[in-house]
Each structure stands twice: as C-alpha cells, then as structure tokens.
Chains A and B, each alone.
Chain A
Amino acid sequence: MVSEELRDAFSRTCVVVPAFNEENSISQVVQSIYEHMPGVSVAVVDDGSRDRTAQRARAAGATVLSLPLNLGIGGAVQTGFKYAIRHGFSFALQIDGDGQHDPSETHHLYEPLLANEADIVIGSRWLGRGSYVAPKSRRFGMKFLESLVSWKAGARFTDTTSGFRAMNEKAIALFAEDYPPDYPEVESIILAQHHGLRVVEVPVSMKAREHGTSSIRGLRTLYFMFRITIGLLTGVIGGVDS
C-alpha cells in the first residue's frame, strides 16, 4: 500500500534512469518503477546507446532524453537533473537502468526526505537488509572508498558507489548546475555536503545486475580508485567550468 503522503511525493517526482545499451532490461525497469511508484514521471537518459534502449524505454512509457554522444554516467544523470529542475519537480529519484535497484524499495528512501531530515538519501546495500554480495575483487575497493569518504565527510558512509538515491529540490538544483562528470557517485556526496546539504544512507536490498556488466572493471578499477582518491583529497570536485 502506498500512503497518501507518498502518493503525493510520487506525483512530484522525476525518476532519472541513466541507461547505456540496456535494451534487455530497460522496459522491465521502467515498468517496475510505474508499478511501485504510481504517479511518477520517468526520464530515461539514453547515453548514446547503440542498441534499442531508447525505443524500448519510450514503448514502456518513459520520457527519453537521448544524448547524441556518450557522456558517461555523470553527464547522463545530470541531464536528468536538468530535466527535473526545468519541469518543476520537487523530488528526483535516481535508479540504474540495469535492473540492479528495486523500485519497490523506494519508500525507504523517501522517509528521511519527507520528514525533512535529509536532502539526499542514498540506498545502501550494506546496512543490513537484502542479500547482495559484491564480487570479492570489488570489496577491497568499496571498503577503501568507504573509509575515505567517511573520513572526508565526518560521518559514516557504507555504500559510496550506490547510484540508488532520492533527493529534494535543493539537491536537484545543485546537481543540475554542478555534477562530477566521470565517477560521480562518490564525489557527489562530498560536493553536496560542501554545499551544506544533508546526506544520509538508508538500508535497501539490491540485486546482482541482471544483464550487462559494470562499466568499471579490470584496469579501470585501479584508475577509478586513483581518480576518486585524487578528486577527494585535492577537493577538486565537479568538472571544469564551462
């Protein structure tokens, strides 16, 4: 059952779904969002996919923001935030297009937002719910980022790379203006705090991805870690000013 308060929040929510070559999962993701979040608007950001991601998303009833060039996850998600702010949405919910995040879990993200206890709520795999187990190779990196961000932020964060988040208008406005282009999940936490926004985590359960592979693997993992560490330590967050 969806409460009256949640129903009202959904009607003012833009769900941002970044998708790059996700034709196998995107319809299901969009359908699942509409099913569990009645009244929301869904904006799928097609990050220059070469497959039928855009058509499938459109057929499932989503608004599709088609990037003519591949921008990477940060640039794609930011497009969604720009869309949300220009169309006057009060909330944005970010969900990956690969089916990893479960839309039926979104009410957990809304609780702190609606209670006005947070501006950004991140769904964490590691706070006790669900059974998600990360591949062994990734655990070290995740742990490392966790301590780095917790130290920088002065609060404990357990799932810094989670792209399952809900936010209010204040956060959407900030991210529409300034969002890290390359590996945004980690840096955006610090960026938001730097601007005085309240970022909290809530436990959610996640599934292992159903289709496709992570964009970060092999040597890229090392580059990813290096890049984020430098970004966090130097305070050089966000992109180059255009």
Chain B
Amino acid sequence: MKGYLLAGFISLLFLTLTVRAIRKKQLTELMAILWLVVSVVTVLLSALLPTGAFDYISHFFGIKYPPDMVLVFGLLFIVLLTYQLTVALSRLAARQRVLVQEVALLKAEMESKGTSG
C-alpha cells in the first residue's frame, strides 16, 4: 500500500525537521517538546496503519470511520495550539508595550541630563 509508505515518509521527515529545529535552538523548550511528541505520534500512527490497530483505536473512541479520527484529533490539536499561541502573543504584546514605554522614559531622562549637565 503506497499510502502507508507516504504517511510514514512524511512523518519521518517531520520528525527530522523537529529534531533539527531543536538542535538549532529555534524552539522554546515547551514548543520543542510539543512538536517532538507530535512527530513521534505521527510516526507511530503511520507504522500502525497496516496492522489494523488504527481501526481498533478509533472504535475505542466510538469513531465509526477511522480516517475521521485523524480529522477530529487534528482539529482539536490545532484549535488548542492556536489558543495557546494567541495567549502567548497577547502576553508578548503586553510585555512589548512595557518595554516601549521604558525606552521612551529612559530617552527623555537622558535628554534632560544632557541639557542640564
């Protein structure tokens, strides 16, 4: 079955990219762990595809059509991730605002010292 091979190939490629990104320190620790888990899970799932375990797992979750399991969990994962990203982004914006304000205040302080001294 070519489909399994393709899925396995893509998963392994993704795992390699993740490991590379971690070694280059392009990801924070939390995100690194997250993507590592995702890569390993997809690799495992591709490996499990031919064994029928996939069907077993999806029936365990009450999903009648096994491919739907990928959609359901994939979508759930993406929604949670997006949520986490917007939270992180809002926090960064708040922190940036504080820094920008500090820069303006420090600049004004330097200017006033420059003129008086």
Contacts and interface: CB of A to CB of B under 8 A. Distances in A.
B86 to A, nearest CB: 10
B90 to A, nearest CB: 5
A56 to B, nearest CB: 16
Contacts of B103: 67-68
A240 B105 contact: no
Given A239-B97, A240-B90, A66 B112 contact: no
Nearest to B102: A82
A79 B104 contact: yes
Contact of A79 (B90, B101, B112): B101
B107 interface: yes
Interface in A202-242: 239-242
Interface residues of A, number: 21
Given A239-B94, A241-B94, A66 B100 contact: no
A65 B105 contact: yes
A237 to B, nearest CB: 14
B91 A79 contact: no
Contacts, number: 52
A82 B100 CA distance: 12
Of B91, B95, B101, B105, most buried by chain A (CB within 10 Å of CB) is B101
B101 A64 contact: no
22 contacts: A43-B108, A63-B112, A64-B108, A65-B104, A65-B107, A66-B107, A67-B103, A68-B103, A69-B96, A71-B101, A75-B101, A78-B101, A79-B104, A79-B105, A82-B105, A83-B105, A83-B108, A181-B97, A240-B90, A240-B91, A242-B95, A242-B97
Interface of A: 43, 45, 63-69, 71, 75, 78-79, 82-83, 86, 181, 239-242
Given A43-B108, A68-B100, A242-B98, 13 more contacts: A64-B108, A64-B111, A65-B104, A66-B104, A67-B104, A68-B104, A71-B100, A78-B101, A79-B101, A83-B108, A239-B94, A241-B91, A242-B97
